Amino acid sequence: MRPLLNVRNLHVDFPGGREQVVKGISFTLQRGECLALIGESGCGKSVTLRTMVGLPGAGAVVRAEALEFDGVDTRRFSPAQWLDVRGGRIGFVLQDALLSLDPLRTVGEEIAEPLRLHKSLTREQRSARVIELLRSVGVPEPELRAAQYPAQLSGGLRQRALIASAIACQPELLIADEPTTALDALVQSQVLDLLVSLRNGNTAMLIVSHDLAVAARLADRVAVMQAGNIVEMGPTREILRNPQHPYTKSLLAAAATVHAHVSVRHSSVSVPNSRVEIATHGVTKSFTGVDGKRRIAVEPSSITLYAGHTLGIVGGSGSGKSTLTRIILGLEKADSGEVQFQGRPWLSLSSAERRTVRRRVQPVFQDPLDSFDPRYTVEAVLGEALAVAGYRRGRTRRERALELLRLVRLDETHLYRRPIELSGGQRQRVAIARALAAEPAVLICDEPVSALDVSVQAQILDLLTELKRKLNLACLFISHDLGVIRRMSDDIIVFHQGRIVEVGDAEKIFCSPKHPYTQALLAAIPDMEWCTAAA
């Protein structure tokens, strides 16, 4: 059987810029099968995908011994031939639909575009087909949605619309670059279902993901990429259960660490005499939305955080968890309710009164780059926090700064750099160092690792765990990733639509969730058992 895609010894160069991005990879793809390229950012997987449709990027030089689509040599393709294949025989789905659909055109227009280019249909036939397509990908009220703009649809519906536009002409091959990454956990699972059904319908698929779980569900075969090379390739089950190459092993191990259980755990029950660091009682907050309607962001909520404990807060976007956290940090005013810090009133204090104590509750944000003054070096960033903690300018401050850097596994050279020159992981370490510089009792981590690569995630989580233990910090940990929450938290709070729907010991909640929302969340976690086998 002639393979649909035949790639042998593919090289992609960007002379004058990055060095070789793809350094000689080979693979084939049969009709109706799904191959997943997995690897971390920068390994060349996206470039490979784009080269399959002749769009490797500006200035790219593509060389290969063989590069064939359905037996035809695409290296010699004329622009006209590519225009024919793209959209007609190969569909492409990019990452975030909010960015990948033209915001100035309606969803219907976007889906109709490939139809207009490849099929000769009348306008009415096109409209009908668009509605049909939207229905087939599971978009309710397709007539309404087709006339709307992408920003008016929710994330999940948008992604489905994007997929609809890719499969409009019933292509033989569907290429997807991180198709579920930008979505909430629950929605991810639903879109994955859609992709699985497409695969079952005999569309060949070539996908890329950094999320091993996605690959596990969707792909028949998996190819692991590292720095432009394929280091291991084979049937999915085999690779994930029994990895041979050291890099594959480390990838799986990192994923496992992120989602590992923690055997020793502090439970709020076991140490009843623990000091209460933060307690909130009946805090509420509502906003006036753009449309003028008053929306309740947080219903009366009460949470308790004990010293040395980690309280994980989980919930979808818009569930109220971030708002409550910002209220605790004092960045928002609550409409009603009280927050206490170490037994004393916190929220009801005036700004001036609160200032001296504020540094005891420190945040670690998701995007560290924005949390630094663009003009400041690492030294200045730490210096500002140290000044608040009472370290005056001079030798002692400098020594303490170096000490902090050592704590977060950075060294002196980082002191003189600007955060913009550092990698994502390094920046987050600096952010943690700054938080620690203020000598806090409580750390509030708001999605601190969501923006990082898997292997870096594991390192930062390890670091946080170690620091918490060493300095006996209480920690409020927010994440949408249940695996991360499970690993880091002693107790868990589940937020849904502004309300706390479940509270309790982490393990108990994971084993026997009570509230339907919690149950749905847990059901959406992709199957991780192969992870523990590899760990």
Chain centroid, CA 320 distance in Å: 19
Name which position in 21, 53, 134, 183 contacts other proteins (CB under 8 A): 53
Residue placing its CB nearer to other proteins in the complex, 104 or 511:
104
The footprint of other proteins on residues 101-120 (CB under 8 A) is: 101-105, 110, 113-114, 117-118
Q: Does 349 bind other proteins (CB under 8 A)?
A: no
Among the listed ranges 6-14, 192-200, 251-259, 363-371, the one in contact with other proteins (CB under 8 A) is 363-371
Residue placing its CB nearer to other proteins in the complex, 361 or 401:
361
Name which position in 40, 70, 96, 453 contacts other proteins (CB under 8 A): 96
Q: Does 144 bind other proteins (CB under 8 A)?
A: no
Long-range contacts of 341-348 (CB under 8 A, 24+ apart): 341/277, 341/278, 341/442, 342/275, 342/276, 342/277, 342/441, 343/276, 346/278, 347/283
Residue placing its CB nearer to other proteins in the complex, 281 or 359:
359
Chain centroid, CA 491 distance in Å: 23
Written as six digits, the tokens of 251 are 């990838």
Q: Does 91 bind other proteins (CB under 8 A)?
A: yes
Residue placing its CB nearer to other proteins in the complex, 124 or 370:
370
Q: How far is the CB of 349 from other proteins (least distance, A)?
A: 12
Q: Does 84 bind other proteins (CB under 8 A)?
A: yes
Q: In degrees, to the nearest 5, what angle opens at C-alpha 194 toward C-alphas 176 and 181?
A: 45
Among the listed ranges 26-34, 195-203, 360-368, 393-401, the one in contact with other proteins (CB under 8 A) is 360-368
> Which residues lie across from 305 on neighbouring strands?
278
Written as six digits, the tokens of 478 are 């927010």
Among the listed ranges 124-132, 192-200, 342-350, 358-366, the one in contact with other proteins (CB under 8 A) is 358-366
Q: Does 361 bind other proteins (CB under 8 A)?
A: yes
Name which position in 6, 33, 64, 86 contacts other proteins (CB under 8 A): 86
Which alpha helices (DSSP H) does 262-367 contain, by range? 321-329, 351-358
Sketch the per residue contact string, 159 through 198, with other proteins: x for CB under 8 A, - otherwise. Answer: ---x--xx--------------------------------
User: Letter for the amino acid at 256?
Assistant: A
The footprint of other proteins on residues 219-258 (CB under 8 A) is: none
> Buried b / exposed e across 173-185, counting CB within 10 Å, b at 16+?
bbbbbbbbebbbb
Written as six digits, the tokens of 144 are 């309404």
Give the Cα separation of 227 and 211 in Å (integer).
17
Q: How far is the CB of 365 from other proteins (least distance, A)?
A: 6
Nearest 5°: phi and psi at 289?
A: -75, 180
Q: How far is the CB of 420 from other proteins (least distance, A)?
A: 7
Strand, coil or helix: 27 = strand
Residue placing its CB nearer to other proteins in the complex, 381 or 407:
381
The footprint of other proteins on residues 414-473 (CB under 8 A) is: 420, 434, 438
Q: Does 344 bind other proteins (CB under 8 A)?
A: no
**The dihedral sign for the CA sequence 484, 489, 491, 495:** negative
Q: Would you list the DSSP string of 134-162?
A: HHHTT-SSHHHHHTS-GGGS-HHHHHHHH
Which alpha helices (DSSP H) does 45-184 contain, by range? 45-52, 79-85, 97-100, 107-118, 123-136, 142-146, 155-167
The footprint of other proteins on residues 382-421 (CB under 8 A) is: 384-385, 388, 420
Number of residues that bind other proteins (CB under 8 A): 64
Among the listed ranges 67-75, 82-90, 195-203, 481-489, the one in contact with other proteins (CB under 8 A) is 82-90
With beta carbons less than 8 A apart as the criterion, state whether 42 and 229 touch. no
Residue placing its CB nearer to other proteins in the complex, 218 or 364:
364
Written as six digits, the tokens of 319 are 């569930």
Q: Which residues contact 108 (CB under 8 A, 6 or more apart)?
A: 127, 130, 146, 147
Name which position in 357, 402, 503, 520 contacts other proteins (CB under 8 A): 357
Q: Where along the sequence are the contacts to other proteins (CB under 8 A)?
A: 50, 53, 55, 58, 79, 82-88, 90-92, 94-96, 99-105, 110, 113-114, 117-118, 149, 151, 162, 165-166, 290, 329-331, 351-352, 354-359, 361-363, 365, 367, 370-375, 384-385, 388, 420, 434, 438
